[in-house]
Structure 1
Amino acid sequence: MNALSRREEETLLKKTKEHALKECDPIVKEFAECAEGRTFSVAWECRGKYKAVQDCMLQYTGPEAMALVRAEYLRLRNEQQQKTQVNPS
């Protein structure tokens, strides 16, 4: 089977977002520091930093990146299923 269940898809997306936030942490912190103490002015004062956060997150959660994550997950799942079929315990 080469399709993901809804639950598997949601789990992969959640784990991928967590990984992206860890990788993008310094950029997210810069945005947070810029936004601290601001209300309406965040929209124009921190625009560049917000864009940098979006760009960083997209590297890990964009369509291409998610396709790679799915493919790797399916590969590992299929590999595990083959091992289980060969060596049933």
Structure 2
Amino acid sequence: MARAISNRESDELMKKTKADALKKCGDVVKAFADCSSGRTVSVAWACRGEHKALQDCLKQYTSPEAFEKVKADYLASNRS
């Protein structure tokens, strides 16, 4: 029977997954940061394209499907 992961393990995996996604999307993160630098309210429309690109990049690594794969890999590597 497959072992379920605890809430603590799930939270830690999600944090790691998000951090990894930010690294993998580094160029897109930088483009958004550069665009939004020095802006306040205008960032909403001035950087719309950069924000969409950032969200699209992050989504491929943090979607529910991607996270299920991370959990499966974690369980496979930590079999008890």
TM range (shorter): over 0.9
Aligned counterparts, 1:1-89, within 5 A: 1-78=2-79, 81=80
User: How large is the Cα RMSD of the aligned pairs?
Assistant: 0.9
Letter in 2 for 1:44: W
Q: How far 1:37 moved relative to its partner?
A: 1.2
User: Using the alignment, how far apart are the partners of 2:33 and 2:3 within structure 1?
Assistant: 40
Unpaired segments ≥5 residues, structure 2: none
Unpaired segments ≥5 residues, structure 1: 82-89
Give the count of matched residue pairs: 79
Q: Which runs of structure 1 show a deviation greater than 4 angstroms over 4 or more consecutive aligned residues?
A: none
Asked which structure has the greater CA Rg, the reply is 1
Q: How far 1:34 moved relative to its partner?
A: 0.5
